[in-house]
Structure 1
Amino acid sequence: MWWFWTLWAVVALTHCSAMDRNKDKALKLMKQTPLIDGHNDLPWQIRKQFNNQLSKVDLNTIQTTHTNIPKIKEGHLAAQFWSAYVPCDTQHKDAVRQTLDQIDIIHRMCDAYPESFMFATSSQDIMEAFIQNKTASLIGVEGGHSIDSSLGILRIMYRLGVRYLTLTHSCNTPWVDNWKVDTGTEAPVHNGLSPFGKQVIKEMNRLGMLIDLAHVSEKVMNQVLDLSKAPVIFSHSSAYSLCQHKRNVPDAVLKRVRDKAGIVMVNFYNDYVTCSQTANLSQVADHFDHIKKVAGHTVIGFGSDYDGVRRVPKGLEDVSKFPDLVAELLRRGWNDTEVRGALGENLLRVLKDVERVRDSLTKDQPDDVPIPYEQVENACRTNYGYFPLDNTGHSASQSPLVLALATLLCWFFGGSSYSCRP
């Protein structure tokens, strides 16, 4: 039997040698091309675990998250869209304030760890951070409820550095339907985008803000692909054909993203990888392969969703594991051009195209037509500007008695003057 064990040893050594070669090549490519990840919820974990008290957490040593600075370095993570996320139950309450808190924590992360993070708002910034061996830190706001149906808030967030808006999270807003309407668990409200939703798309094009279609209904995907002058992104979604979850992207839409020169950044959440509670690195790579087969290698990126999901695949336990996934793509025959595209060149191209569209629209004026009041009216909202004031300074459409009644109802259902907050 000595010959059997000898043969087994030779095969094992050959396999390990091939794995090492792929890993070495992956690391070489990652030193040449920035790895850009489309979605990471570390800011939300800082909110959940420390109530945004950054002074109480050390990002060099924290072990209760998928992400810390040593893991980022080991994973060769060159650029990260940090998610400024707040839950849907803030909608119509304090979503804007809560979102501004999350934007603030991302800025403070960069200020507190300048040797590791560089705040970034452009394709040029990403490359500058890469040269400096720092992680370019961009902001994506996850959920249209965060702008409270205000184009003014959208513009302010852009000025604060927000470079993409996910149009919905897991709830409808007053202007766009979310992915749950495709499951039948939530009723459609707008048949996709409302007229104001179309205003939002046009204003995002004018600003140069990436339109993120993760979390939206399929109808919205197609409407935005029709309407947008710029390429779109899916910041953290996978292939529907491999896992039939409505958060994933159908093949027909993948082809339209290709035609629009956009990008789908593959999510690592087990439930979107295998539609089950378990998954592994190879099954994530299957999504990369499928998207490449259907729409080509130019529309693929990484959208891990680390620190925003409960379960991650075996072999992709945290942000340090990115090189192992790149090595797996190389093992499957991906060439250098394809790998560099997925790492970051595809996203850089999309971002540059969005910036070009912005620059072509510099003569366009900001859209200042507000959403119709009846579409956002509730007891926690005032109506200043929608209706003329009478000679007492009150809205002519709402007497002081009506306003007092609304305040009373808000107090009654919540038990305090803060009942309009969650």
Structure 2
Amino acid sequence: MIFDAHCDVLMKLFIDPDISFVDSDKLHITKRELMDSGGKVQCFAIYIPEQVHSDMRFQAALAMVEIFHKKVLAEPEIKFIRSKKDIDSLGEKEIGALLTLEGCDCIGDDVLKMKTLLQLGVTSVGLTWNYANLVADGVLEKRGGGLTRFGTDVVGLLNVQSIWCDLSHLSESGFWDTIEIADFPIASHSNAYRLCPHPRNLKDSQIKALLKKNGTIGVTFVPQFLSQGKSASIKDVINHIEHICSLGGEKQIGFGSDFDGIEEMVDDLVSYSNYQNLIDELDRLYSTEFVKGILFENFVRHYPR
């Protein structure tokens, strides 16, 4: 069984309403691929494309929630996950769908908008994308600012409602501000900076701090975050797993593919159906217990609700 902590299917369905979630070849993740490849829980991110005007971003977020219900949850095998109990109750042929938010740009400075999204079923919140919003700075914001006063209020709300606080995409200052106060931190799709010094990756000190706070990190399949070369392979994915485990992350590591949010792909890992190629390599190298943990159990065990 596979728990994948991040994909951008909803963004693609938002941009092109004619795409079918069931079996479109324009998607890296479809219902058919989930059913055929061992998918058990898939996180679907609300990510608002940059070209959407700031005044319309909350409406766009609501539109993606509607798409989630009409195109994803409309499939009878797909069940809405809002608690660990929902995961535990999934039938053998059922797949859980978890709704997440990637970046708080859409709420502006209005905490009521965040409360609305949580009421609608968002149970993991990424504070930023790559740039600044009114919560914090993202990793590519040149000033590198940390968590704002409003951002502190948002993290407090996530704590009270037992919501994952996703640190992927945060500036380094924002990371350190947030790790101090977040009760349920994760990094849904980030890799190790030591192996690949991309600003989206986490330094060893950050990984150790996240692990100390009982957080989970999802190794992601973005080639630029895996290797400094022109391409990346499953071996590179394994290298990042090994490094995070060397820091103590054996029971706090999983996957956050970023499928449908990327254009360049890892060799032999170009869509959800290729997860089996990765699983075959994991099975060759590691114990069954470790493989089950990284594929599914670690993220489920740390789900806070």
TM-score range with shorter-chain normalisation?
A: over 0.9
- Supply the distance in 1 between the matched residues of 2:126 and 2:21 (Cα, whole angstroms): 26
CA contact (8 A) 2:19 2:26 kept: no
CA contact (8 A) 2:191 2:219 kept: yes
1:103 is matched with 65
Compared with structure 1, are the counterparts of its residues 198 and 243 closer, same or farther at alpha carbon in structure 2 (3 Å cutoff)? Answer: same
Alignment counterpart, residue 339 of structure 1, candidates 291, 294, 305: 291
- Supply the distance in 1 between the matched residues of 2:135 and 2:157 (Cα, whole angstroms): 14
Unaligned runs of 5+ in 1: 1-29, 51-55, 356-422
Compared with structure 1, are the counterparts of its residues 147 and 91 closer, same or farther at alpha carbon in structure 2 (3 Å cutoff)? Answer: farther
Q: Which 4+ residue blocks in structure 1 deviate beyond 4 angstroms?
A: none
- Supply the distance in 2 between the matched residues of 1:289 and 1:68 (Cα, whole angstroms): 29
2:212 is matched with 259
Alignment counterpart, residue 227 of structure 1, candidates 181, 187, 212: 181
1:152 is matched with 112
- Whichever of the two has the greater Rg, that structure is 1
CA shift for structure 1 position 257: 1.2
2:49 is matched with 87
Unaligned runs of 5+ in 2: none
Give yes or no for the alignment of 1:269 onto 2:231: no
Pairs within 5 Å for 1:105-184: 105-114=67-76, 116-129=77-90, 131-181=91-141
Alignment counterpart, residue 314 of structure 1, candidates 245, 267, 272: 267
2:247 is matched with 294
Pairs within 5 Å for 1:350-365: 350-351=302-303, 354-355=304-305
Q: Secondary structure at the match of 2:254?
A: strand
- Supply the distance in 2 between the matched residues of 1:91 and 1:223 (Cα, whole angstroms): 29
Give yes or no for the alignment of 1:38 onto 2:5: yes
Alignment counterpart, residue 27 of structure 2, candidates 57, 61, 65: 65
Task: State the TM-score, normalized to the length of structure 2.
Answer: 0.95
Q: Secondary structure at the match of 2:54?
A: coil
CA contact (8 A) 2:234 2:267 kept: yes
Q: Secondary structure at the match of 1:295?
A: coil
CA shift for structure 1 position 139: 0.6
CA shift for structure 1 position 348: 1.5
Q: Secondary structure at the match of 2:208?
A: helix
Task: State the TM-score, normalized to the length of structure 1.
Answer: 0.69
Compared with structure 1, are the counterparts of its residues 172 and 37 closer, same or farther at alpha carbon in structure 2 (3 Å cutoff)? Answer: same
CA shift for structure 1 position 321: 1.6
Residue 260 of structure 2 aligns to which amino acid in structure 1?
D
Aligned length: 305
Identity %: 27
1:312-355 per-position Cα deviation (integer Å, ceiling 9, x unaligned): 111111001222212212222x222222221222111221xx33
- Supply the distance in 2 between the matched residues of 1:321 and 1:127 (Cα, whole angstroms): 26
Residue 341 of structure 1 aligns to which amino acid in structure 2?
G
| Structure with the higher fraction of residues in helix conformation | 1
- Supply the distance in 2 between the matched residues of 1:268 and 1:91 (Cα, whole angstroms): 29
1:415 is matched with none
CA contact (8 A) 2:128 2:135 kept: no
CA contact (8 A) 1:88 1:145 kept: no
